[in-house]
Amino acid sequence: MQAVKQLGQYLGPYKFFTLIAPLLMVLEVTMDLIQPTIMQHMIDTGIANGDNRYVLNMFVWMLGSAVLGLIGGVGCSYYSSKAAIHFASDIRQALYEKMMTYSAKERDAFTTGKLITILTSDVESIQRAFMMTLRIFVRGPLLFIGAVIIVFVTARELFSILLIIVPLLVIAMYFFTKYSGVLYRRVQEAIDAVNTKLQENLAGIRVVKAFRRETQQVAQFGELNEALTKRFITAEQIVGVLVPFTMFVVNLGIVAALWLGAIKVDAGTLQVGVILAFINYLTIILNGLMSSSMVLMQIARALPSGERIVDVLNKEIAVKEAEHALTDPIKGAIDFDQVSYRYYETAEDVLKKISFSVKPGQTVGIIGKTGSGKSTLVKLLPRLFDPSGGEIRIDGKPLKSYSLATLREHIGFTSQKALLFSGPIEKNIRLGKDDATAEDLQQALEASCASEFVERLDKGLAHELSQGATNLSGGQKQRLALSRAFIRKPAILVLDDTTSALDSASEQQVQRAIATYYQDTTTFIVASKIASIQQADVILVLEDGDIVGQGTHQQLLQSNAHYQAIYASQQKAGEQG
Ligand SMILES: Nc1ncnc2c1ncn2[C@@H]1O[C@H](COP(=O)(O)OP(=O)(O)OP(=O)(O)O)[C@@H](O)[C@H]1O
């Protein structure tokens, strides 16, 4: 119910549509309800007495009520669609905006597949439930109550039949509706699993092909698809059983009406028109109950979807904006003070009380074995996540006191995996800085050694990248990712193993460009080769989350056993190579 209340806020701008749609439905239902009574009068008073004028009169009434009913029905459909579609669209937008604030931690907690299901299928489910509520929820109970009252007033002789049939129908529909909600929650969970698998396999299609795992992946997908199919069938079968069951009960009612009616007509206590009107009203009662239960079923399915949506919207973000956040320009002095980090509460620290200081414009090289914590350390700078212990300061002020926008504007970050978006190359680079000048763009391209290959492309900067930039080589992608970071002219530049995909000549050229164009930038270079960081002002040697060496290349080479070991192994590999 909390979910309904929260999502109800998104109805604000569509209050008018939400009110007018059920009102128009009331008009349609009223017209539907009076038609069998008009027909009854037409038969029992007009036709039975051969009064043609009366019959014509009733015909005009019938036509008028049908037209009014039509206006009500069409108007209700129009406004309910408008309200439900806009309502769902606003929720989708809010979900997307919230997801954009997620760090990897929140995204991992949900999984990408589940987030996609929530943004698509769950939103659609509440859109459908809301539209049906506006269209039918008023109609169902109104038809039902109206028809019961009219039967009580005009066909009391047959009312006892309703006293048996209606409770049977209501009890059956209550159980079907309740069970349907449980079954549909299971369907949504199965859709999550299918989407997660699909997303993972499409993203990793090259690996699947390279290792010839298509058959296994298809089989695994088949199992998940089969589970979804089974759950769907079970959920849908509920409706399949409900309809024939209710029809059977109503047909029993019609048989009872004909039998009881015939006896009473024979005895001269009932007119034929009353029996026909009763059967009509019985159908209307069934219609009313069926449509109410369909809406209730849809609502029962939408409630778990609503809860899932609200979970995403209310997810607390680990990385929070400070209350009076600083927007001061950043120079680039950085202090790590006893900084620790663990990915999960229960996991071990992957960074252990790390301390070091860097002056603005210095270059820091970070080297160490795989898994030693190098990437984790640099990801703390743009606050992709916050330390579990200790403090990071920039220009003497806590990192957390800066506004996230200011902080990230001053940091150029390139990750191990160059992530580019579909669209022209220029647009990708300008993601770093929308309003960069043409000269800035050119300088960034040259600094990252990207200009030569971009110039060779037919359309140059307008060259369209495919999804995931699969139409570029690894090195080309990495160069463009570097250009995107360079164009910012950031105060802090982070190259997380970025230059590994470049040949050594290009790598040296990038290093020279940093030294020339970005002298005032504090640069972090994470690398696996000593050659990539040899010129750094300070090199940190990491091992199992600890700093086991700190100094310049020469200092470490003379006095640090860990660095000496890395150097020796790389020299050896170089000689063998
Ligand atoms: N998202 C994550 N969730 C849980 N553990 C993680 C996550 N990312 C990294 N780790 C763990 O944290 C430790 C440090 O990882 P990190 O990526 O910082 O190492 P690295 O030194 O950059 O390694 P490499 O040189 O291979 O890139 C590793 O043990 C790794 O398994």
pLDDT tens-digit series, residues 412-435: 888 878 788 888 888 888 888 888
Residue ranges lining ligand 1, Cβ < 6 Å: 104, 343, 350, 368, 370-376
Nearest CA to ligand 1 atom 17: 375
Nearest CA to ligand 1 atom 16: 373
Ligand 1 centroid to residue 350 C-alpha, Å: 8
What are the tokens at 513? 């460009």
Alpha-carbon distance 248 to 449, whole Å? 77
Nearest CA to ligand 1 atom 29: 371
pLDDT at residue 577 in the model: 53
pLDDT at residue 434 in the model: 83
Ligand 1 atom nearest the C-alpha of 526 is 22
Domain definitions of the chain by residue range = 2-314
If one residue of 345, 354, 366, 376 were mutated to test the ligand 1 pocket, choosing by the most ligand atoms within 8 A of its CB, it would be 376
Q: Report yes or no: 300 and 184 within 8 Å, Cβ to Cβ.
A: yes
pLDDT at residue 574 in the model: 61
Mean pLDDT across 161-169 = 85
Phi, psi of 538, deg, nearest 5: -145, 140
Ligand 1 centroid to residue 377 C-alpha, Å: 10
Write the DSSP string, 143-210: HHHHHHHHHHHH-GGGHHHHHHHHHHHHHHHHHHHHHHHHHHHHHHHHHHHHHHHHHHHHHTHHHHHH
pLDDT at residue 30 in the model: 87
Mean pLDDT across 30-47 = 83
If one residue of 112, 354, 375, 566 were mutated to test the ligand 1 pocket, choosing by the most ligand atoms within 8 A of its CB, it would be 375
Ligand 1 centroid to residue 371 C-alpha, Å: 5
Q: Is the pLDDT at 177 greater than 90, yes or no?
A: no
If one residue of 366, 374, 379 were mutated to test the ligand 1 pocket, choosing by the most ligand atoms within 8 A of its CB, it would be 374
Q: What interhelical angle do 123-132 and 52-101 show, nearest 10?
A: 160
Ligand 1 centroid to residue 448 C-alpha, Å: 26
Half-sphere exposure of 537 (CA within 13 A, CB side): 15
Nearest CA to ligand 1 atom 31: 371
Estimate the share of the chain in helix, then strand, then coil, as percent rounded to the nearest 5. Answer: 70, 10, 20
**Residue in 421, 419, 402 with CA at minimum distance from that of residue 410:** 402
pLDDT-based confidence at 501, cuts 50/70/90?
low
pLDDT tens column, 127-136 = 999 998 888 8
If one residue of 108, 350, 366, 384 were mutated to test the ligand 1 pocket, choosing by the most ligand atoms within 8 A of its CB, it would be 350
User: ipTM value of the model?
Assistant: 0.96
Q: Which helix (H) or strand (E) holds 71?
A: helix 52-101
Share of the chain above pLDDT 70, in %: 99
Q: Report yes or no: 348 and 544 within 8 Å, Cβ to Cβ.
A: no
Ligand 1 centroid to residue 349 C-alpha, Å: 11
Ligand 1 atom nearest the C-alpha of 542 is 21
Ligand 1 centroid to residue 340 C-alpha, Å: 14
Mean pLDDT across 491-520 = 80
Ligand 1 atom nearest the C-alpha of 545 is 14
Nearest CA to ligand 1 atom 27: 370
Write the DSSP string, 299-334: HHHHHHHHHHHHHHHHPPPSS---TT-B-PPP---E
Ligand 1 atom nearest the C-alpha of 108 is 1
Nearest CA to ligand 1 atom 2: 343
Q: Is beta strand 546-551 parallel, antiparallel or unpaired with respect to 538-543?
A: antiparallel
pTM exceeding 0.80:
no
Ligand 1 centroid to residue 566 C-alpha, Å: 19
- Residue 147 to residues 142, 246, 269, 403, Cα–Cα distance (Å): 8, 17, 22, 63
If one residue of 343, 385, 495 were mutated to test the ligand 1 pocket, choosing by the most ligand atoms within 8 A of its CB, it would be 343
Nearest CA to ligand 1 atom 3: 343
Mean pLDDT across 104-113 = 82
Ligand 1 atom nearest the C-alpha of 416 is 27
Q: Is the pLDDT at 469 greater than 90, yes or no?
A: no
pLDDT tens column, 231-264 = 988 888 877 777 788 888 888 888 888 888 888 8
Ligand 1 atom nearest the C-alpha of 368 is 21
pLDDT tens column, 506-538 = 777 777 777 777 888 999 999 888 888 888 899
pLDDT-based confidence at 123, cuts 50/70/90?
very high
pLDDT at residue 383 in the model: 92
Phi, psi of 341, deg, nearest 5: -150, 140
Ligand 1 centroid to residue 365 C-alpha, Å: 18
Alpha-carbon distance 176 to 174, whole Å? 6
Ligand 1 atom nearest the C-alpha of 104 is 1
Q: Is the pLDDT at 453 greater than 60, yes or no?
A: yes
Alpha-carbon distance 124 to 544, whole Å? 47
Ligand 1 centroid to residue 106 C-alpha, Å: 17
Find the farthest-apart pair of alpha carbons in the chain and give their distance in angstroms, rounded: 121
Ligand 1 centroid to residue 342 C-alpha, Å: 10
CATH topology classification for 2-314? ABC transporter transmembrane region fold (1.20.1560)
Ligand 1 centroid to residue 373 C-alpha, Å: 6
pLDDT at residue 78 in the model: 92
**Residue in 400, 348, 338 with CA at minimum distance from that of residue 371:** 348
User: Residue 65 burial by CB count (10 A; 0-12/13-18/19+): exposed, middle or buried?
Assistant: middle
Alpha-carbon distance 445 to 461, whole Å? 10
- Residue 76 to residues 22, 34, 413, Cα–Cα distance (Å): 7, 19, 53
